[in-house]
Amino acid sequence: NPYAGLVNHLRAAWLSGKTRPIEYRVAQLEALGRFLDEKKQDILEATASDMGKPSFEAYFTEILLCKNEINGTLNNLSHWMKDEHVDKNLVTQLDSAFIRKDPYGVVLIIAPWNYPIHLFLVPLIGAIAAGNCVVFKPSETTKNTERLVAEMLTCYLDNDCFAVVTAGVQETTRLLENKFDYIFYLCSTSVGKIVMAAAAKHLTPVTLELGGKNPCYVSDTCDVQNVARRVAWGRFFNAGQTCIAPDYVLCSVEMQEKLMPALREAITEFFGSNPQESPDFGRIVGDKQFRRIRALLCSGRVAIGGQADEKERYIAPTVLADVLPSDPAMQEEIFGPILPIVVVANMDEAIDFINARPRPLAIYAFSCDSKVVNQVLERTSSGGFCGNDTLMHVTLTSLPFGGIGNSGLGKYHGKFTFDTFTHHRGCLHRNMGLEALNALRYPPYSQQKLGLLTATFEIKRKGMCTLL
């Protein structure tokens, strides 16, 4: 077991209690903030060379949103860590009843490549804030970022309690043989099952942030140009390599007709007439992914874009029209800059279409009629939902971010990350006195005792309350 030594080292640090005082956690979080400030340029360069990430996007997702999380956590940490006092019943009125926020211990974070800093840093912030020791594994697919993290981030954090592991598939399998107290995994559904099966061997709780095909329903009553802009932004951000990107559009044939020129205009507005030359449009992360996405182009008909350049791993912002459910683009999560439009007759058909498929990470619905948006929301199920926009629900950290079914298990962002890495321990601190009251519960039992016990214990419906 090649990682046993590392995990044992961290476990020893964990048992020493080093990570528990708030001062320690704050110091580590502040160090993470300094890492983002001081290594900003390196991060932008690494992500640019790994996947042609436009610097505006990289700054926004890898630096700005992460700093937000750090600051939000630092602002609230002492409040989050406090014991949460709970309502008591009659029997426990004189006791102290609270939920203690205990760290789990040594936790593992396995991150994906599409937002290579953000997607391990945000869970890491929560794990540190909750007082755990952390092993984190950045993605091996984005080599430059992986190297940056392994070489530079370690200089900012306490190496006894936080370790970076660089590993490919084989090594990660070995890593998962070790016992961790929590595993946080982000990426694909198929590997998610492998991670959970490995976790089951040690009864390790998990959070899995997976993916799926996020549908985007556009109703007939909407401001087409605004919709086109927001959908295009969400789809082509990071060259489509976003787990919550709108994966495909559902709309009527008339709306498809209206959307096409609007989308064309939005794409030109964003990236100019030749997106390959725009500094604001990204590239596909690797050759394998490039080939996979390119193969999806033979679905429906290419209405906008469709160009591909293998050398640069460039795929143009593409919109496919009249895509059929049986087409290649509808068989898997696209994770690329291709937007298929599937024609449906009306909202009901769109909802049935969505419900016939595995529950996605996000569902989007566009309409000027709020009733339509609410209908789609109420009659479907997904990790999260955004009406009249794409992606934005994940920038609000007071909303939990996570999937359901195939799209994942658990949630994070903001306080939810802290709660994910915290064991909520129910504590009741009783009085040694007033033993006479306890006599009701002791044997020998009798109907009389039972009657009294029932009276003190039972919660009656409102209007028939006891002393409480």
Partner 1 sequence: MQQIVGQARAAFNSGRCRSLEFRMQQLKALERMVQEKEKEILAAIRADLHKCGPSAYSHEILGVLKELALAMDKLPSWAAPQPVKRDLLTMRDEAYVCPEPLGVVLIIGAWNYPFVLVMQPLIGAIAAGNAVVVKPSEICENTAQLVSDLLPQYLDQELYPVVTGGVPETTELLKQRFDHILYTGNSTVGKIVMAAAAKHLTPVTLELGGKSPCYIDKDCDLDVACRRITWGKYMNCGQTCIAPDYILCDPSIQSKVVENIKVTLQEFYGEDVKSSPDYERIVNKRHFKRILGLLDGQKIAHGGEADEASCFIAPTILIDVSPESKVMEEEIFGPVLPILTVKNVDEAIEFINRREKPLALYVFSNNKKLIKRVISETFSGGVTGNDVIMHFLLSTLPFGGVGNSGIGAYHGKHSFETFSHRRACLIRDLKMEVMHKLRYPPGSQKKVDWAKFFLLKRFNKGQIGLVIFALLGIVAAVVMIKNHQSVLKRKALLIVLAVQRLGWLS
Catalytic positions, written as ranges = 209, 243
Distance CA 67, CA 118 (A): 10
Q: Is 100 helix (H, G, I), strand (E, B) or coil?
A: strand
Size (the chain), residues: 468
* Residues within window 173-192 making contact with partner 1, judged by CB under 8 A: 181, 189, 192
Smaller CB separation from partner 1, 323 or 338: 338
Instruction: Indicate the DSSP class of residue 64.
Output: I
The full DSSP string for 254-269 is HHHHHHHHHHHHHHHH
Residue of the chain from 370, 371, 437, 468 that contacts partner 1 (CB under 8 A): 370
Q: Is 409 helix (H, G, I), strand (E, B) or coil?
A: strand
Dihedral sign of CA atoms 329, 334, 337, 341 in order? positive
> CB under 8 A: which stretch of 45-53, 123-131, 277-285, 340-348 binds partner 1?
277-285
* Residues within window 241-270 making contact with partner 1, judged by CB under 8 A: 269-270
The reply to whether 351 sits near partner 1 by the rule CB under 8 A is no
> CB under 8 A: which stretch of 142-150, 250-258, 301-309, 456-464 binds partner 1?
456-464
> CB under 8 A: which stretch of 68-76, 117-125, 157-165, 328-336 binds partner 1?
68-76
CA atoms within 13 A on the CB side of 443: 1
* Residues within window 94-153 making contact with partner 1, judged by CB under 8 A: 97, 99-100, 102, 104-105
Smaller CB separation from partner 1, 291 or 425: 425
Residue of the chain from 26, 91, 150, 191 that contacts partner 1 (CB under 8 A): 91
Q: At what angle do helices 65-81 and 118-129 cross, to 10 degrees?
A: 10
The reply to whether 21 sits near partner 1 by the rule CB under 8 A is no
Query: How big is the site for partner 1, counted in residues (CB under 8 A)?
Result: 118
> CB under 8 A: which stretch of 204-212, 254-262, 306-314, 324-332 binds partner 1?
204-212
Distance CA 169, CA 140 (A): 9
The reply to whether 79 sits near partner 1 by the rule CB under 8 A is no
* Residues within window 318-347 making contact with partner 1, judged by CB under 8 A: none
Residue of the chain from 56, 253, 257, 298 that contacts partner 1 (CB under 8 A): 56
Tokens of 168: 């490919």
Residue of the chain from 29, 35, 50, 54 that contacts partner 1 (CB under 8 A): 54
The full DSSP string for 329-386 is GGTS---SSEEEEEE-SSHHHHHHHHHTS---SEEEEE-SSHHHHHHHHHH---SEEE
